[in-house]
């Protein structure tokens, strides 16, 4: 059961940021496993259990990231990440192009939220069609999230707009991908066993948006003849 992160967690993240090499990591591997990876796994398991209870019919899956960088894509960086994340979403092997809940912890912040981070052009086209067909429905979802506070809209926008939507939907309409993110400095919640409850409350506010994204994901997917 998740008991909270610790100062050892933070010390390890700063340590690997400034000593990103195999000898240092091997000397501190047990700290990584005990104070970084294991709490992340416990947190993911608790939140996955909550998601499964909330939406038992959705084929949800959870995944915790690895600390090892892809050796083919180091681009001058060290072999290890100084942060970890987990995500919960539908699907099996294909972890891209689907709406996703996430949590991430780094040396100087933690963040959580939900988004369509690797959406394809056809999926975003389906999203725009949905906005055009029924803007009031999406506006209701947006307003509920905005009343909850704490989340900011993220995602790269098209350089050439695909169309126009009246506010408050205009800032959503021309994005290549969409995310809703809450980012915080390390605070008491991070070190508390209450963190799963705090995250579950946040994810519950985002669930209507997730289900909306899931609808047009399946719509675009079925047009290509692929299985959800």
Global pTM reads 0.90
pLDDT surpassing 90 at residue 103: yes
How far apart, in whole angstroms, are the C-alpha atoms of residue 61 and residue 35?
A: 24
Mean pLDDT of 17-32: 96
Average of per-residue pLDDT across 7-21: 97
Q: What pLDDT, on a 0 to 100 scale, did the predictor assign at position 198? A: 96
Q: Which of 62, 61, 107, 101 is nearest to 84 (CA)?
A: 107
Percent residues over pLDDT 70 in the chain: 90
- Split at pLDDT 50, 70, 90, the class of 228 is very low
Q: Tell me: cis bond preceding 168? Omega within 30 of 0 counts.
A: yes
pLDDT for 49-102, tens place per residue? 999 999 998 888 999 999 998 766 667 678 999 999 999 988 765 556 689 999
Range name among 33-37, 92-96, 114-118 with the lowest pLDDT average: 92-96
Structure tokens at 76: 């001058």
Q: Give which of 193, 215, 78, 59 is closest to 137, Cα–Cα.
A: 215
Residue 222: per-residue pLDDT = 44
pLDDT level of residue 226 (50, 70, 90 thresholds): very low
CA distances from 154 to 45, 60, 146, 177 (A): 27, 24, 14, 8
Tokens 């240092």 sit on residue: 24
For 136-188, the pLDDT digits (tens) are 999 999 998 988 778 999 999 998 888 887 777 888 999 998 999 999 999 99
Mean confidence (pLDDT) of the chain: 89
Question: Which residue is it, tokens 């010390």?
Answer: 11
């Amino acid at each position: 059961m998740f008991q909270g992160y610790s100062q050892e967690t933070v010390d390890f993240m700063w340590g690997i940021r400034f000593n990103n090499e195999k000898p240092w990591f091997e000397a501190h591997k047990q700290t990584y496993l005990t104070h970084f990876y294991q709490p992340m796994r416990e947190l993911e398991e608790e939140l996955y259990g909550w998601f499964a209870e909330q939406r038992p019919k959705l084929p949800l899956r959870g995944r915790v990231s690895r600390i090892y960088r892809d050796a083919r894509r180091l681009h001058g960086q060290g072999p290890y990440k100084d942060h970890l994340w987990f995500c919960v979403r539908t699907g099996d092997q294909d972890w891209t192009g689907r709406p996703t809940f996430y949590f991430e912890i780094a040396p100087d912040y933690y963040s959580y939220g939900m988004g369509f981070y690797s959406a394809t052009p056809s999926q975003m086209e389906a999203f725009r069609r949905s906005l055009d067909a029924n803007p009031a429905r999406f506006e209701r979802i947006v307003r509920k999230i905005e009343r909850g506070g704490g989340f900011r809209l993220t995602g790269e926008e098209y350089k050439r707009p695909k169309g126009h939507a009246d506010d408050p939907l205009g800032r959503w309409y021309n994005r290549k991908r969409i995310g809703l993110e809450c980012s915080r400095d390390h605070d008491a919640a991070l070190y508390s066993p209450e963190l799963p409850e705090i995250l579950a409350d946040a994810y519950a506010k985002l669930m209507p948006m997730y289900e909306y994204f899931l609808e047009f994901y399946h719509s675009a997917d079925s047009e290509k003849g692929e299985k959800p």
